[in-house]
Amino acid sequence: MADFDLSIDEKRVYADKSGKQTAYVAAGVGVVTVDVSDDLVGGFRVDHRCTARDAAGSPGEVAVATDEDVLLVQSDDYHELDFGPATAVGFHRNRVVAADDAGRVARFDESGWTDLGEVESVRALDGSLVAAEDGVYRVGDDGLSHVGLDDVNDVSDPAGRLGGDSGTPLAATDSGLYALGNGWMDALDGSFSAVASMPDGRAHAVGPDGVVARDDEAGAWDDAPIPLDETVVALAHDARAAYAVTDAGSFCVRLTGGDWRTQVLGLDTVGVAVR
């Protein structure tokens, strides 16, 4: 990548914050940063003005899709990646991936952008997976290939995102929540709009009755409702906690096994990410 790229070792240093974290919220006014210490929510501010459409995190960095370009946030600096207007953003093996209105999906590395293919109505990107109106697509050596399902709203692929081999991919669809094993297997019934997970199996998803959570790979899904009469529109995870933003502009954080803490941002929020 360009000279602002961080090594993987440096990213791990950034990821170890001893309970302190900065969450990046994608909103109509721009990128809003929220200070979090364990499950306590601190101050927030508009860190970068733009029209943000999506956000995704990887250890040490955050990518933001805007109506003008894809931004890569490293330390406190915002770098334009010359993708053009983007609707969705994610990470594949610690490299930024992005999609635009036309369905172009591309990955960024030291040589610039490499087109991976085109998919109609891309809704989300994470790891090796693309969520689209007509199903899930996988990033492979020869580009994108359709791997099943329909009406997919969100995907979570921690192994593909971080470049490891741990973590079961999940897909949130209008017909249910699915886990990828020997094909797509039913996890929960109902319409699901968002999902986020970690390599150890901890995960959160937004279903017909609100947020559900799983504390490990073998555990059951349990109700984990936010203490607000609002709908969660986006989720993120790190090694300590889950993060959420709502349709009414509230920010929420939950340590594993704990209760949600909230902060009213009063903004038109569409995404959240941590690094």
**Bridge pairing between strands 122-126 and 129-132:** antiparallel
pLDDT of residue 18: 55
Cβ within 8 Å of residue 175, ≥6 positions away: 150, 151, 191
DSSP designation for 6: P
Look up residue 216 and give its amino acid: D
pLDDT of residue 165: 86
Residues 72-90 have pLDDT tens digits of 999 889 999 999 999 999 9
Q: Is the pLDDT of residue 15 over 80?
A: no
Taking the complete model, does pTM exceed 0.75, yes or no?
A: yes
Nearest alpha carbon to residue 206 among 221, 186, 218, 184: 221
Q: Phi, psi at residue 10, to the nearest 5°? A: -65, -40
pLDDT over 90 for what percent of the chain? 84
pLDDT of residue 256: 87
Task: Give 220-270 as a DSSP string.
Answer: PPEE---SSSS-EEEEEE-SSEEEEEETTSEEEEEETTS-EEEEE--S-EE
CATH number of 21-274: 2.130.10.10
Residues 194-229 have pLDDT tens digits of 999 999 999 999 999 999 999 887 789 999 999 999
Cβ contacts of 47-50, under 8 Å, gap ≥ 24 = 48/73, 48/78
